[in-house]
Amino acid sequence: MFQAGLPYLILTTGLIVLMVGVSIHRSHQVAWSLTVLTLIATFISHFFVYEAVATDIVVITELFRVDSIAYFFNAVFLLATLVLVLFAQVFLDRRTKFTEEFYVLILAATLGAMMLPASTHFASLILGLEVISISLYALIAYPDHARPPLEAGLKYLVLSGVGTATLLMGMAFIYAASGNLDFSSIHITDGSMEGEILFLIGNTLFWCGIAFKLSLVPFHIWTPDVYHGAPSVVTAFLATVSKGAVFAVVLRYVIEADILSSDTISNAIMLIACASMVIGNLLALLQNNLKRLLAYSSIAHMGYLLIVVFLISVNTSLGYESALFYLVSYFVMTLAAFGVIIALSSKSETEVDTLNGISGLLWTKPAAGAVLIAAALSLAGIPLTVGFFAKYYLFTAGISEGMWPLVVCLVLGSGLGIFYYVRIIFRTLEKPQEELSVSVPWLGLSITVLLALAIIVFGLYPTPLVDLIRAILVFPPTL
Amino acid sequence: MFYIAAAIAVSSSILAVTRKNASHALLYLVLTLLALATIFFLLGAPFAAALEIVIYAGAIVVLFLFVVMMLNLGRASVARESQWLRPGMWVLPAIMSGVLFGVFGLSFLGTENAAQIEGVMVPPKQVGESLFTTYLLGVELAGVLLLGALVGAYHLGRRYLDERREE
């Protein structure tokens, strides 16, 4: 039973070994290699113990239940973290004298992210979430002697703290209504009017907190500022792993607690989803900063992803299939877009993140420019990219289940989105005014090229990815 | 009795947020925590009440007070300190905590006629048992949480130490 917990143990061991190692001897190279090694070992260990979860749900105390879907999420998070850690080595040297703690913190955050998809209990939800958030506070403010990261860190600290407090308050109300903290039994109230009202209040607060963490409209105000101020490696982590983990636990909560059976809650979530899709894209239209633009675009993408929440409560396996596919493609294209920013900023003190900074990129740095164009096309959902299939999944699912408000907003949002993604592409294609003086590290560049290849290959031929996801869902664990 | 304690908790937490002086705010914070502990006690969780007082009101807030007072070292702080000790400031907290003490005492004496809130007694042994069985992984995850917080605080704090050393 406990062998299913092996990946978590390996990651924790790596974390502790790294911390002790850093306290004995400080070396950026050693810390970096140890982190890469830990991430790869954890990733590989999933294959060895996959047997345990392939045919059965593994319950590890009341708090965690490991299944093949949780393993899939873990693998995606680990690969994303690995990509970012590979970027981080050159990136950090220019920004701080003390680089080693960065790796301790990012491993801790990854552990938190791996715990969330396996959570079945409010206690493990809040602990996993806080492990991610607390590590992120320090990661966002990581660079020495720079004001924007510190400002972003403080903003995130205060707003994420409020979000967590709201979440906890919601859990307290839900507990008051049902007397239970594990997802599967919280919807059992005594049927009285009082219990129903408490349950609704609790869920309202709970979803407000979740919306804070996923930066959904109207709780999105922090997103552009934090994305802009944080060092790009951390921004990418925030946009991918942290949000993906919260989303994974939300899916499980929705299924097990059968939340959408209440009309009030499902209407509220629908409103949030529609608002995120439209407003996120509208606000992105006139941004001149690439990181702020990607922040608004991530708000919109989280709105699209919320469609899955509705889908999953009527058709669990199709819902999970589209959720996993969308999440993988969102990870790949977001990492490719941020990868270009990170690669360009690696050798300079400041971040190259304005639209002017990428003007004529295709001519000065052909590889980086091409990757950025591929990422922008994919984020916009143009055919022949992986982003197209991800949107196509949501679109067909929305139509087949007759979720018209969501489908209309999806189309409207995507239409608006094309405008600013095309703006990125045009700026990249411009005739360069001046020679871009920054040099790009080869490792970072080759990773972004790989990511861009993944965008196009899965865009042309998504069958392997779909087959993999279907194979994971063969034994439907949470049905 | 619950309502008295709750009223004190709410009003003192509002006062804690609105005070301009950090030490005064902390004084009200202690009061809030004491009121919360009383509520826990009334709910039938004396263990949680004791923890609330020992850990929050006792250890953490005292730590806060130390930090606040250490940050204000210097000549200007002497004048400020005399202002802190102005008699008016501690009267309200004193009255409120007096009322709280009364509530606490009453809950010992006359539990029969007072409106009791339904609740189950949770003895310390049960808390310990569940922490080391059901919630064992949670406790370990909380350890990682604290580790992350510690490493982060260390890193962020060090930059100011370095700057000060360079000056």
pLDDT of residue A223: 93
Average pLDDT over residues B3-28: 79
pLDDT higher than threshold 70 for residue A265? yes
Q: Is B3 exposed, middle or buried (0-12, 13-18, 19+ CB in 10 A)?
A: exposed
Percent of residues, chain A, with pLDDT higher than 90: 50
Measured between CB atoms, which of A60, A101, A112 is closest to B137?
A: A60
pLDDT of residue A434: 65
Q: Kindly state whether B158 is in contact with chain A, defined as any CB-CB distance less than 8 angstroms.
A: yes
CB contact under 8 A, B137 and A124: yes
Q: Kindly state whether A393 is in contact with chain B, defined as any CB-CB distance less than 8 angstroms.
A: no
- Cα–Cα distances (Å) from A277 to A312, A313, A407, in that order, read 19, 20, 10
Q: Cα A406–A242–A203 angle (5° rounding)?
A: 55
Which residues in B lie closer than 8 A to residue A109 (C-beta atoms)?
148
Which among B141, B154, B162, B165 is the top mutation candidate for probing chain A, defined by the most A β-carbons within 10 Å of its own β-carbon?
Answer: B141
Which among A8, A99, A104 is the top mutation candidate for probing chain B, defined by the most B β-carbons within 10 Å of its own β-carbon?
Answer: A104
Residue in the block written with tokens 């109230």: A189
Q: Kindly state whether B119 is in contact with chain A, defined as any CB-CB distance less than 8 angstroms.
A: no
**Concatenated DSSP letters for A19-50?**
HHHHHH---HHHHHHHHHHHHHHHHHHHHHTH
Measured between CB atoms, which of B151, B156, B158 is closest to A141?
A: B156
Residue ranges per structural domain of chain A: 274-479
Give the closest-approach CA distance of B61 to chain A in angstroms.
19
CB contact under 8 A, B138 and A101: no
pLDDT tier for residue B134 given thresholds of 50, 70 and 90 = confident
First to last CA, chain B: 56
Angle between helices A404-429 and A386-400 (to 10 degrees): 160
Which residues in B lie closer than 8 A to residue A141 (C-beta atoms)?
156
pLDDT of residue B34: 86
pLDDT tier for residue A33 given thresholds of 50, 70 and 90 = very high
The CA distance from A24 to A236, in Å, is: 30
Compare all CA atoms of chain B with the CA of A176 and give the residue at the minimum distance: B119
pLDDT of residue B113: 43
Fill in the DSSP letter of residue A261.
Answer: G
Taking only the tens place, the pLDDT of each residue in B94-103 is: 777 788 777 7
Count the Cβ atoms, other than its own, within 10 Å of residue A40: 14
How many beta-carbon pairs under 8 angstroms link A with B?
A: 79
pLDDT tier for residue A222 given thresholds of 50, 70 and 90 = very high
The dihedral formed by the CA atoms of A364, A367, A372 and A378, expressed in degrees to the nearest 10:
150
Q: Kindly state whether B157 is in contact with chain A, defined as any CB-CB distance less than 8 angstroms.
A: no
Measured between CB atoms, which of A19, A97, A130 is closest to B145?
A: A130
Compare all CA atoms of chain A with the CA of B138 and give the residue at the minimum distance: A124
Q: A218: cis peptide before it, omega within 30°?
A: yes
pLDDT tier for residue B52 given thresholds of 50, 70 and 90 = confident
Which residues 6+ apart lie within 8 Å of A217 measured at CB?
Answer: A272, A275, A276, A279, A280, A299, A303
**pTM of the predicted protein model:** 0.89
What mean pLDDT value characterizes chain B? 76
pLDDT tier for residue A314 given thresholds of 50, 70 and 90 = confident
Closest CA to A383 of A460, A288, A295: A460
Closest CA to A88 of A73, A100, A78: A100
ipTM of the complex: 0.84
Dihedrals φ, ψ of A65, to 5°?
A: -135, 110
